């Protein structure tokens, strides 16, 4: 077992004391740049082996994840599950089409009638993971469990929210602010436009 947060810090994926904007618009001062993890193959593999350990009690056939980060995680998780369960486990991903996540490229047929687990890198509101779960369900897959690497909102993002068993490899509560009430904005802290969705947020204000 590895310490997930320590591993992320080791690869310089944890960024603090800055001003970030999330996917759904919240502002916050701490960000996990998951893209800093993926070039480190050994660490990424170790993270996904922990996902696999968490899924061993479920009868499953496929691992799914939302593009882009979920692609890498789903493949490594499926790899480790295949080794541990001694059977082939498939890996598929959902991508944005017409403003929603969908299983395309024939992946919908690979999950139809199958037991599926869904993995994601981070969650703040749970929105992306929930969309990925729904994409699998719409394609006829049976989602038996879901997991994230880091849950930044453990008080609200729970199994009840997703409607399926859910776990996180690590919790890292981050205080979220609306754009209207953001103390970072009020203090004049510049929004980071290279990491997160700050650039899109600023463009929407023009």
Secondary structure tally for the chain: helices H, strands E: 8, 10
pLDDT for 24 equals 80
Which helix H or strand E contains 144, and what residues bound it?
Answer: strand 142-151
3-state SS record for 49-98: HHHHHHHCCCCCCEEEEECCHHHHHHHHHHHHHHHHHCCCCEEEEEEEEC
Which domains are present in the chain? 4-204 (3.40.50.2020)
Q: If DSSP codes are grouped into helix, strand and coil, which group holds residue 116? A: strand
Provide φ and ψ at 157, rounded to 5°.
-90, 100
Bridge-partner residues for 94, per DSSP?
66
Within 10 A of 12 (CB to CB), how many other CB atoms are there?
10
Instruction: Tell me the pLDDT of the chain (206 aa) as tens digits.
Output: 889 999 999 999 999 999 999 878 889 999 999 999 999 999 999 999 999 999 999 999 999 999 988 999 999 999 999 999 999 999 999 999 988 999 999 999 999 999 999 999 998 888 899 999 999 999 999 999 999 999 999 999 999 999 999 999 999 998 989 999 999 999 999 999 998 899 999 998 87
d(CA 93, CA 107): 7
The whole-number pLDDT of residue 142 equals 98
Q: What pLDDT does residue 130 have?
A: 96
pLDDT of 75 reads 98
């Amino acid at each position: 077992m590895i310490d997930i947060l320590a591993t992320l810090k080791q690869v310089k994926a944890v960024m603090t004391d800055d001003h970030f904007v999330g996917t759904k618009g919240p502002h916050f001062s701490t960000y996990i740049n998951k893209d800093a993890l993926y070039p480190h193959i050994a660490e990424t593999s170790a993270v996904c082996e922990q996902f696999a350990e968490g899924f061993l009690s479920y009868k499953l056939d496929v691992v799914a994840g939302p593009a882009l980060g979920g692609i890498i995680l789903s493949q490594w998780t499926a790899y480790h599950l295949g080794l541990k369960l001694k059977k082939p486990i498939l890996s598929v991903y959902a991508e944005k089409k017409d403003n929603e996540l969908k299983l395309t490229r024939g992946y919908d047929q690979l999950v139809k009638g199958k037991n599926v687990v869904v993995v994601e890198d981070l969650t703040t509101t749970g929105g992306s993971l929930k969309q990925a779960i729904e994409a699998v369900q719409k394609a006829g897959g049976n989602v038996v469990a879901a997991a994230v690497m880091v849950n930044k909102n453990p008080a609200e993002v729970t199994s009840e929210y997703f409607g399926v068993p859910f776990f996180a490899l690590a919790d890292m509560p981050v205080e979220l602010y609306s754009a209207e009430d953001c103390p970072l904005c009020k203090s004049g802290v510049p929004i980071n436009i290279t990491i997160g969705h700050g650039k899109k947020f600023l463009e929407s204000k023009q």
